[in-house]
Structure 1
Amino acid sequence: MGDSYPVIRLAAIQAASVFLDRQASVARAAELIREAGKAGAEFIVFPEGFIPAHPIWYQYHPAMSPEATGLSVELFANAVEVPGPHLAAIAEAARAAGAFVVVGVCERTPGRTGTLYNTQVYFGPDGEYLGKHQKLVPTVTERLVHGPGSAATFGARPSRYGQVSSLICGENSNPLAVFALIAEGTQVHGMSWPPTFGPTGQPIRARVQNAAIAFAQMAKTFVVAACGVVDEATISALDITDEHAAFLRSPNATGGSVIVSPTAEVMAQASDDGGEQIVLAEADLKTAVRAKFVADVAGHYNRPDVFSLRVDRTDRKLYDVIGDIEHRVHSPERIGDEQEGLDEAGIGISAPPLRGT
């Protein structure tokens, strides 16, 4: 008897953050996980930066304006540390639902101020923290608050459904990133998208659907694309013009979540009103096996003697310390020794001599 392939239920969460409120956004995410779990969801994907918000204010305010700067400071104050205690309620909700969860967050480094990261955090069906993916290259105005992510966080990872993966927004159209995940055998892929792309270009739902279908077509995998929503509380907090507020209230400005099959067929999609909902679809993983017989671009449908890709996951550090320095309280009787450039063990120290009168 051969292998069997499960049928799993996929869920894209289309919802609004509790704008710039970490605790309330976490509680909201946990509630939505439990709701999706009750509907049978086993793989749940959240929008980009769901906790505590995505920095969409830069689409409407100049970079160094008081409005943008004030909101960015609030973003930092409500960012999460990964791993850390801020997401404990989400871990518990994933365990209660028995689902693999991918949640978009704004991440900060413990003990530091300044740079943030645009991150997806993974939790397993037992509630265990399974790692994270930091967006490798922030897109457009995100660069004002988000730094480039660590290469060490990129890649597919195992689950009870097989290999799973995720990328954030524009990364899902990076051909090399897509190929790398195909080569790693991804079978279910999560896409996290922001609540809006701003008042220029085609509607967000069109761009998201194009990217999801293209990824599924190339990878022969299930794609779960989750988009955010802009609610009235967010519009009020953004302090924008009436014209921009009217745009954000229009159906074309927000939403667009979709689930696509390995045969590039749309299995389920959000309604056109841009409102909150949980998009669900059942995925027969055997479909991916059949699709890859046609064209496995990281296998028989490629030529490694012609094309190859090298992925470097080295986490290159800007600041690295080897060894440590002993911090001491200087006593008057030792000042003379230090002026000679010697420590108490007679070893030379790098500090310059003290200058006295």
Structure 2
Amino acid sequence: MSTLKNTTQVNGDSSSSMVRATIVQASTVYNDTPKTIEKAEKLIAEAASNGSELVVFPEGFIGGYPRGFRFGIAVGVHNEEGRDEFRKYHASAIHVPGPEVDKLAELARKNNVYLVMGAIEKDGYTLYCTALFFSSEGRFLGKHRKVMPTSLERCIWGFGDGSTIPVYDTPIGKLGAAICWENRMPLYRTALYGKGVELYCAPTADGTKEWQSSMMHIAIEGGCFVLSACQFCLRKDFPKDADHLFTDYDVQHDETIVSQGGSVIISPLGKVLAGPNFESEGLITADLDLGDIARAKLYFDVVGHYSKPDIFNLTVNEHPKKPVTFVSKAVKAEDDSESREK
């Protein structure tokens, strides 16, 4: 496992707080969640042994990002092979909370790290693309469900709502996440800025060069550290028998790169601290000087002195949206019997 590291030194500024952060750029073990968690355990331990206090994994690491999966879906067309492929994918997803969440919490505690883990969550038979948050004490802090799946993702994942847009105030900074192309949603970003996000995690499946421009913009716009984590996958990492469509790649060989990574860490001042890595699985590590947040916001504070609330305003609905709500009146059995006796 290769490691990219850039250590920033503080020049005698005792008011600055340094946080070492690591992005894990690695592939899921598809259709095998226990082995995926075993792989995560080794990677978390490796990052912690290098002094990292925060470890961020890619989108859908637990359960897998289904790149190229077609699930037999076309307009007005369905097939049995696609349904069975979804059955396997559903089986690889995890309940939140659940035993896998407990295991991840224990890994965070054992390695004394804050952990942000991309996972495919199942709630009944609906799946969600989710980011899970854990404290270094081994507590499950909560989750963010992707509010807007992209393109064909909408056929296999549900939509998150405003009840899971958290920013956690932790000893290492205020921690939040936007998943993949949520990062292109200005109002979603503004909601995170409004909650004071400082460590802006961007688990993604977008390994394009253009993605780097979005990450740079968000770091400068939000005056926050951006930690973008993307999987690096070869064709051999995917199931052999699945119906895939990799239109942009020559997938005749097992060693063909299918997801090229590009994980990167960027400071609030727009400095690339580590990455991007487009070449291999690996750990991308940097030391974050939290003093850079105040330095950046001297000139631009997107929800502060540069916000113009007399003209622009955002309202965020944080109430959970449930498809079925039961309203009932509880009546004690003894009250019924008393009524009948009268």
Q: TM-score, normalised by structure 1?
A: 0.82
Equivalent-residue separation in structure 2 for 1:252 and 1:214 (angstroms): 26
1:34 aligns with 2:27: no
- The answer (yes or no) to whether the contact 1:120–1:133 under 8 Å persists in 2 is yes
Equivalent-residue separation in structure 2 for 1:82 and 1:296 (angstroms): 35
- The answer (yes or no) to whether the contact 1:205–1:257 under 8 Å persists in 2 is no
Cα distance change of structure 1 residues 310 and 263 upon mapping to structure 2, 3 Å threshold: same
The residue that corresponds to 1:332 in the other structure is: none
Residue of 164, 175, 178 corresponding to 1:164:
175
Residue of 146, 158, 172 corresponding to 1:135:
146
Aligned-residue offset at 1:57: 3.5
User: Is the helix fraction higher in 1 or 2?
Assistant: 1
Gaps of 5+ in 1: 198-203, 327-342, 348-357
The residue that corresponds to 2:212 in the other structure is: 209
1:225 aligns with 2:228: yes
Q: Which amino acid aligns with 1:158?
A: D
Cα distance change of structure 1 residues 244 and 25 upon mapping to structure 2, 3 Å threshold: same
Q: Which amino acid aligns with 1:101?
A: L
Equivalent-residue separation in structure 1 for 2:230 and 2:285 (angstroms): 14
1:284 aligns with 2:295: no
Cα distance change of structure 1 residues 53 and 73 upon mapping to structure 2, 3 Å threshold: same
Residue of 292, 298, 305 corresponding to 1:293:
298
Look up the SS of the partner of 2:27 in the other structure. coil
Aligned-residue offset at 1:233: 3.2
Equivalent-residue separation in structure 2 for 1:170 and 1:248 (angstroms): 28
**Mapping of 1:188-199 within 5 angstroms?**
188-194=199-205
**Mapping of 1:234-313 within 5 angstroms?**
234=238, 236-240=240-244, 244-246=250-252, 249-251=255-257, 253-273=259-279, 275-313=280-318
**Mapping of 1:310-349 within 5 angstroms?**
310-323=315-328
Equivalent-residue separation in structure 2 for 1:13 and 1:345 (angstroms): 65
Aligned-residue offset at 1:239: 4.7
Aligned-residue offset at 1:208: 2.7
Residue of 3, 20, 23 corresponding to 1:9:
20
Q: Which amino acid aligns with 1:96?
A: K
Equivalent-residue separation in structure 1 for 2:172 and 2:100 (angstroms): 27
Cα offsets for 1:37-76 (capped at 9, x unmatched): 1111111111111111112233596453444332211111
1:77 aligns with 2:81: no
Cα distance change of structure 1 residues 51 and 303 upon mapping to structure 2, 3 Å threshold: same
Look up the SS of the partner of 1:165 in the other structure. strand
Equivalent-residue separation in structure 1 for 2:35 and 2:176 (angstroms): 27
- The answer (yes or no) to whether the contact 2:264–2:277 under 8 Å persists in 1 is no
Equivalent-residue separation in structure 1 for 2:22 and 2:243 (angstroms): 33
Gaps of 5+ in 2: 1-12
Equivalent-residue separation in structure 1 for 2:264 and 2:56 (angstroms): 11
Provide the aligned C-alpha RMSD in A: 2.6
Higher-RCO chain (CA-CA 8 Å, sequence separation at least 6): 2
User: Is the strand fraction higher in 1 or 2?
Assistant: 2
1:55 aligns with 2:69: no
- The answer (yes or no) to whether the contact 2:143–2:166 under 8 Å persists in 1 is no
Cα distance change of structure 1 residues 249 and 265 upon mapping to structure 2, 3 Å threshold: farther
Look up the SS of the partner of 1:94 in the other structure. helix
Cα distance change of structure 1 residues 251 and 267 upon mapping to structure 2, 3 Å threshold: farther
Cα distance change of structure 1 residues 228 and 324 upon mapping to structure 2, 3 Å threshold: farther
Aligned-residue offset at 1:4: 3.1
Aligned-residue offset at 1:253: 4.1
Equivalent-residue separation in structure 2 for 1:119 and 1:241 (angstroms): 24
Aligned-residue offset at 1:280: 0.4
Aligned-residue offset at 1:241: 7.2
Aligned-residue offset at 1:142: 1.0
Equivalent-residue separation in structure 1 for 2:178 and 2:34 (angstroms): 25
- The answer (yes or no) to whether the contact 2:60–2:130 under 8 Å persists in 1 is yes
Cα distance change of structure 1 residues 179 and 323 upon mapping to structure 2, 3 Å threshold: same
Q: TM-score, normalised by structure 2?
A: 0.85
Residue of 24, 47, 56 corresponding to 1:45:
56
**Mapping of 1:16-27 within 5 angstroms?**
16-27=27-38
Equivalent-residue separation in structure 1 for 2:338 and 2:209 (angstroms): 69
Cα distance change of structure 1 residues 240 and 56 upon mapping to structure 2, 3 Å threshold: closer
Equivalent-residue separation in structure 1 for 2:323 and 2:158 (angstroms): 12
